[in-house]
């Protein structure tokens, strides 16, 4: 609302504060603190709550660790029960060596102690180090994103930044993308493209046969060098508008004069050039266009506007500004020219302007309306322009009413709106403008690839419906070949409910008809009928902010969500920041799908925080979205590489890492479980204590980290060329509870073979000298060596992409095992620490026997060959799409075909685009009050600092402009010509 304190107005609106003429001092300081506290509260409400984001794999890991801990308890109970039974039946025979009467230990208490002993021995099955390893992998994946030169924007010198290290694998499981439009899909850089003046279109280029030519980079631009005030960055390709200006066409001049006067732009001098500061890019584009065609806005004061018209400096008295707001959707200024004539100039949405026109403009209105349809079909943002001559007496009466209504307290806004509409009625139409908000580079191609990856993209924008729809067509999100586009625009809950249900019933009815047709023609369509029907039957949903507010009510949210999920494309227009967050939360709550929100402005912060993954675009609207995001980059097109390459790789690597990590832990630990049945459940360990300590730290840590960091099933080119590979992450196929169960069974089987094959061999095996190899340390070294070799070979089979680092870590770790094994059982360490390294020479004696190596090879072969056989059969008989792409990649390794870029489909549409206006209330009141301009202490008339060019600079430019204007514009003023 608006608060007033001692004549000063304080406005808090949508988290933005304007202090109009406020100087905080004395008692006003306290009130100022209240205002800033209110601003902070509004900003916090706009941003939404900050949530701790966790990935799906994190939640699954926590569940699996609990399962493993429960499994550990079960193993402890089984072995403790076995100890109790063994001590009861067999242990009594050993009382001569371990008399119970001395220690007062019963069988039950012995089982109790054994339980905790085995909990300690088997605790390695609980992957405590897993969380540390996962964080290391995530950190590495984040660095890969930061270092990716293909996601670096040279124009803005901006690289991709992973602002978090906990969501990388989540990037490979995204199902819904919620995107802002302006600044995210578009560049938010408005370009004056075309205009219609008195029924004539300017901006198209024709060849010698009268056919319209496509404007490309090679098309010659209009030469504005004759105009010293022109903006060098402005480009226009139709010379006929320049000729019309030079011929002093009255309609063209009035059109450009309106663009130079009807705005809230401020001007200033910067490095000898005229620079505009505009409230919105639309206004800047329109004022810049008028400037290049000879009607340059020069400066303004609270009472005047100065314009350089065709070389002549003309000052207009500013009588009133009828400012823009979301209800009026138009802006007007009332000025008095040098001849004393009062004129009203207005620009705004065509649907509003056409209702206020004089009947004499009826024919021109129909012509302009058709031209606006043509502009809309090209995705341009349009404005209608009109003017009106005001009688002096009528204006005086109206101004008295206006001043009176401005001071009333009740219904002031409604009365002001009625007065505005009263004076704006009966205007004459001048024409229309068409501004292009250019798409960012690669947006259509990116959206096409994301759609092929089965990622649903919803556009949530605060813009008008027509603008969003046209951008949807430009981005290939909407297509003319879609079965139907449902528009929900009800104003009441009942209307919205009826429209949603009607649209849903239509989709379901068409689906039933198509299913029946497929059943009848089953023999004709065979395998691809359903697939083709799914491609052909595509729908889109467009819903505005008023209807969305009702659709998000508890009684309608499920209906809305079901309908939206049945549609290929969803566009929500005129939505507030809070509604964006509510839509994201609705999908998160009911679909249980991974969501990603991408935006570039402060109004996208709540959406970014609500989604699983937030992506910020560093564009034209500050850094609020970037600071609140999890990942950031400069262009929307980098999103495909973030998801289809880095996201898919991160999920693939993390899944393989977890599967192998659980496998090796079970294979390593459960050997103790099998050994417990043959050692009287005495909690005796199979391995040497140093091996238990170093297994996860030295022998197997680096290879699995290398696999988790560098492994890739297909390269980045094929990941982008085949977006459907991404579906495995969406369906959570690579690591889930089923995969965990399989790798657990695999690990248990490996541990079973690792123990029982050497155990059976050692029971009948003899050394070369005829003695038995029955000592426990030889048995331990054999099993440990077999385990290290098996897990090393197993990780080699699981790895798809070998690098020098992988080779170094895998084979280096295997070599490190033998080095440490011989070092710890060497004579040197025994001599230094005999109590710690007591098994001197055990490894040397054990591994010098050929029979031991035969046992190791047999154990390795039995453990590896079945898995290798299953992998081969699966790849040959039941290949996945990844297997096919890998085969294609290997066959085309030397001759890689060039990637074909997806072409942007051309279309024609009759949909009206939006008005090229900022959707916030304008700065008209601030300008007319003069409180945003710093007046000079010497003079209080037209001299002000920093808001307008200096007087000396103005004089120099006027002289140069006048000298050229007599040639360019044909000025008859001889004195100017002599100058």
What is the pLDDT, as a whole number, of residue 832? 77
Paired residues of 596 in beta bridges:
177, 613
431 Rama sector, left if φ>0, alpha if ψ -120 to 50, beta otherwise: left
- pLDDT tops 60 at residue 901: no
What is the pLDDT, as a whole number, of residue 948? 55
What's the pLDDT tens digit per position in 424-454? 999 999 999 998 877 888 888 999 899 999 9
What is the pLDDT, as a whole number, of residue 674? 94
What's the pLDDT tens digit per position in 191-238? 899 999 999 999 988 887 778 888 877 888 888 888 888 888 888 988
Calculate the average pLDDT of the chain. 81
* Percent of the chain surpassing pLDDT 90: 45
User: Under a CB-based contact definition with an 8 Å cutoff, are residues 799 and 652 in contact?
Assistant: no
Highest mean pLDDT among 10-14, 431-435, 898-902: 431-435
- pLDDT tops 80 at residue 539: yes
742 Rama sector, left if φ>0, alpha if ψ -120 to 50, beta otherwise: alpha
- 399-424: average pLDDT: 88
- pLDDT tops 90 at residue 94: no
| CA–CA dist 872, 876 (Å, integer) | 6
What's the pLDDT tens digit per position in 499-519? 999 998 888 877 665 555 555
User: Under a CB-based contact definition with an 8 Å cutoff, are residues 406 and 415 in contact?
Assistant: no
- 311-330: average pLDDT: 86
- Binding-site annotation: residue ranges for Mg(2+): 180, 182, 600, 604
Residue 898's Cβ-count burial label (10 Å; 0-12, 13-18, 19+) is exposed
- pLDDT tops 60 at residue 72: yes
* Percent of the chain surpassing pLDDT 70: 80
What is the pLDDT, as a whole number, of residue 53? 82
- Binding-site annotation: residue ranges: 180-182, 283, 324, 347, 381, 461-463, 574, 580, 600, 603-604
HEC per residue, 128-162: HHHHHHHHHHHHHHHHHHHHCHHHCECCCCECCEE
- pLDDT tops 80 at residue 713: yes
Give the lowest-confidence range in 70-84, 734-748, 838-852: 838-852
Residue of 58, 153, 180, 711 marked catalytic: 180
Q: For this structure, is 523 an active site residue?
A: no
Determine the distance from the C-alpha atom of residue 445 to the mean position of all C-alpha atoms in its chain, rounded to a whole number. 16
- Coil, helix or strand at residue 620: coil
**Higher per-residue pLDDT: 916 or 758:** 758
User: Under a CB-based contact definition with an 8 Å cutoff, are residues 474 and 636 in contact?
Assistant: no
Work out whether the CA dihedral 632, 638, 643, 646 comes out positive or negative.
negative
- Sheet with 161-162, side-by-side order of all strands: 161-162, 631-633, 613-617, 594-599, 174-179, 456-460, 569-572, 539-543, 484-488
Give the lowest-confidence range in 63-77, 91-105, 521-535, 882-896: 521-535
**Higher per-residue pLDDT: 679 or 6:** 679
Query: With b meaning 16 or more CB within 10 Å and e meaning fewer, what string describes 668-691?
Result: bbbbbbbbbeeebbbbebbbbeeb
- 357-383: average pLDDT: 87
Residue 947's Cβ-count burial label (10 Å; 0-12, 13-18, 19+) is middle
Statement: the pTM of the whole predicted model exceeds 0.85: no
- 921-946: average pLDDT: 51
DSSP state of 207: -
The phi and psi torsions of 12 (rounded to 5 degrees) equal -115, 110
pLDDT band at 905 (very low <50, low <70, confident <90, very high): very low
What's the pLDDT tens digit per position in 154-170? 888 899 999 998 899 99
- The separation between the first and the last C-alpha atoms of the chain, rounded to the nearest angstrom, is 55
| CA–CA dist 75, 115 (Å, integer) | 9
- pLDDT tops 60 at residue 968: no
pLDDT band at 97 (very low <50, low <70, confident <90, very high): low
Between β-strands 484-488 and 613-617, what pairing exists: parallel, antiparallel or unpaired?
A: unpaired
- Binding-site annotation: residue ranges for ATP: 180-182, 283, 324, 347, 381, 461-463, 574, 580, 603-604
What is the pLDDT, as a whole number, of residue 623? 81
| Helix H or strand E encompassing 798 | helix 776-798
- 886-911: average pLDDT: 57
- pLDDT tops 80 at residue 933: no
| CA–CA dist 295, 285 (Å, integer) | 13
User: Under a CB-based contact definition with an 8 Å cutoff, are residues 20 and 302 in contact?
Assistant: no
- 696-703: average pLDDT: 91
* Cβ within 8 Å of residue 905, ≥6 positions away: 476, 479
Between β-strands 342-348 and 330-336, what pairing exists: parallel, antiparallel or unpaired?
A: antiparallel
């Amino acid at each position: 609302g608006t608060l007033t304190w001692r004549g000063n107005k304080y406005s808090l609106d949508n988290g933005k504060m304007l202090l109009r003429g406020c100087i905080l001092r004395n008692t006003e300081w306290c009130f100022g603190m209240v205002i800033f506290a209110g601003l902070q509260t509004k900003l916090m409400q706009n941003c939404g709550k900050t949530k701790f984001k966790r990935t799906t794999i994190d939640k699954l890991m926590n569940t699996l660790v609990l399962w493993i801990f429960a499994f550990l308890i079960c193993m402890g109970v089984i072995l403790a029960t076995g100890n109790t039974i063994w001590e009861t039946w067999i242990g009594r025979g050993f009382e001569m060596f371990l008399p119970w009467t001395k220690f007062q230990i019963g069988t039950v208490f012995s089982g109790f102690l054994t339980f905790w002993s085995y909990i300690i021995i088997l605790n390695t099955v609980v992957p405590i180090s897993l969380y540390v390893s996962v964080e290391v992998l995530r950190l590495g994946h984040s660095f890969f994103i930061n270092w990716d030169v293909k996601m670096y924007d040279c124009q803005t010198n901006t690289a991709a930044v992973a602002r978090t290290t906990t969501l990388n694998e989540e990037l490979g499981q995204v199902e819904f993308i919620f995107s802002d439009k302006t600044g995210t899909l578009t560049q938010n850089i408005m370009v004056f493209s075309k205009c219609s003046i008195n029924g004539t279109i300017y901006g198209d280029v024709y060849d010698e046969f009268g056919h319209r030519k496509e404007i490309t980079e090679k098309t010659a631009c209009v030469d504005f060098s004759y105009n010293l005030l022109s903006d060098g960055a402005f480009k226009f390709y139709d010379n006929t508008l320049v000729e019309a200006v030079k011929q002093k066409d009255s309609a063209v001049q009035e059109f450009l004069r309106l663009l130079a006067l009807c705005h809230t732009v401020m001007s200033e001098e910067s490095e000898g050039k005229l620079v505009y500061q505009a409230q919105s890019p639309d206004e800047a584009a329109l004022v810049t266009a008028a400037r290049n065609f000879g009607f340059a806005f020069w400066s303004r004061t609270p009472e005047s506007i100065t314009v350089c018209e065709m070389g002549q400096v003309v000052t207009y008295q500013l009588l009133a500004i009828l400012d823009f707001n979301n209800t009026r959707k138009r802006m007007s200024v009332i000025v008095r020219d040098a001849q004393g004539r009062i004129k009203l100039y207005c620009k705004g949405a065509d649907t509003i302007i056409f209702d206020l026109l004089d009947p004499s403009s009826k024919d021109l209105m129909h012509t302009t309306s058709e031209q606006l349809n043509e502009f809309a079909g090209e995705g341009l943002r349009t404005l209608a322009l009109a003017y009106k001559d005001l009688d002096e007496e009528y204006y005086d009466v109206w101004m008295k009413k206006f001043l009176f209504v401005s001071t009333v307290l009740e219904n002031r806004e409604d009365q002001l709106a009625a007065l505005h509409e009263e004076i704006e009625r009966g205007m004459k139409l001048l024409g229309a403008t068409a501004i292009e908000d250019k798409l960012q580079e690669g947006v259509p191609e990116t959206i096409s690839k994301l759609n092929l990856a089965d990622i649903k993209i919803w556009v949530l924008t605060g813009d008008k419906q027509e603008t969003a729809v046209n951008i949807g067509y430009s981005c290939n999100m909407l297509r003319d070949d879609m079965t139907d586009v449902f528009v929900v625009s009800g104003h009441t809950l009942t209307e919205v409910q009826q429209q949603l249900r009607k649209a849903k019933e239509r989709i379901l009815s068409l689906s039933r008809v198509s299913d029946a047709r497929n059943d009848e023609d089953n023999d004709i369509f065979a395998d691809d009928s359903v697939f083709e029907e799914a491609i052909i039957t595509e729908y889109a949903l467009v819903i505005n902010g008023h209807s969305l507010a009702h659709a998000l009510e508890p009684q309608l949210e499920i209906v809305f969500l079901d309908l939206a999920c049945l549609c290929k494309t969803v566009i929500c227009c005129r939505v507030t920041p809070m509604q964006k967050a509510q839509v994201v939360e609705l999908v998160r709550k009911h679909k249980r799908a991974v969501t990603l929100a991408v935006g570039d402005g402060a109004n996208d912060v709540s959406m970014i925080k609500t989604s699983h993954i937030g992506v910020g675009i560093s564009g034209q609207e500050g850094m609020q979205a970037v600071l609140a995001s999890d990942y950031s980059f400069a262009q929307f097109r980098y999103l495909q590489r973030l998801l289809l390459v880095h996201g898919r790789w991160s999920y693939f690597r993390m899944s393989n890492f977890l599967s192998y990590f659980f496998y090796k832990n079970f294979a390593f630990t459960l050997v103790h479980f099998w050994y417990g049945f043959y050692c009287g459940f005495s909690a005796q360990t199979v391995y040497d204590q140093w091996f238990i300590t170093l297994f996860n730290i030295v022998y197997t840590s680096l290879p699995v980290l290398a696999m988790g960091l560098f492994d890739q099933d297909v390269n980045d080119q094929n990941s982008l060329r085949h977006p459907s590979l991404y579906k495995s992450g969406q369906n959570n196929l690579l690591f889930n509870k089923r995969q965990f169960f399989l790798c657990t069974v695999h690990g248990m089987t490996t541990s079973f073979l690792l123990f029982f094959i050497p155990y059976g061999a050692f029971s009948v095996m003899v050394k070369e000298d005829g003695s038995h190899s029955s000592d426990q340390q030889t048995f331990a070294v054999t099993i440990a060596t077999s385990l290290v070799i098996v897990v090393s070979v197993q990780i080699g089979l699981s790895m798809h992409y070998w690098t020098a680092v992988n080779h170094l870590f895998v084979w280096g770790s295997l070599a490190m095992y033998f080095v440490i094994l011989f070092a710890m059982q060497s004579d040197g360490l025994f001599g230094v620490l005999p109590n710690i390294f007591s098994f001197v020479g055990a490894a040397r004696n054990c591994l010098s026997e050929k029979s031991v190596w035969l046992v190791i090879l047999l154990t390795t072969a039995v453990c590896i060959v079945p898995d290798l056989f299953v992998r081969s059969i699966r790849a040959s008989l039941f290949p996945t799409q990844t297997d096919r792409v890998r085969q294609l990649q290997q066959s085309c390794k030397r001759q890689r075909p060039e990637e074909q870029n997806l072409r942007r489909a051309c279309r024609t549409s009759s949909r009206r685009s939006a008005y090229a206006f900022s959707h916030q209330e304008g700065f008209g009141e601030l300008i007319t009050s003069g409180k945003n301009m710093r007046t000079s202490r010497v003079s209080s008339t037209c001299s002000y600092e920093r808001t307008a060019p200096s007087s000396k600079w103005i004089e120099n430019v006027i002289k140069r402009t006048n000298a050229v204007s007599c040639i360019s514009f044909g000025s008859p003023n001889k004195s100017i010509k002599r100058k």
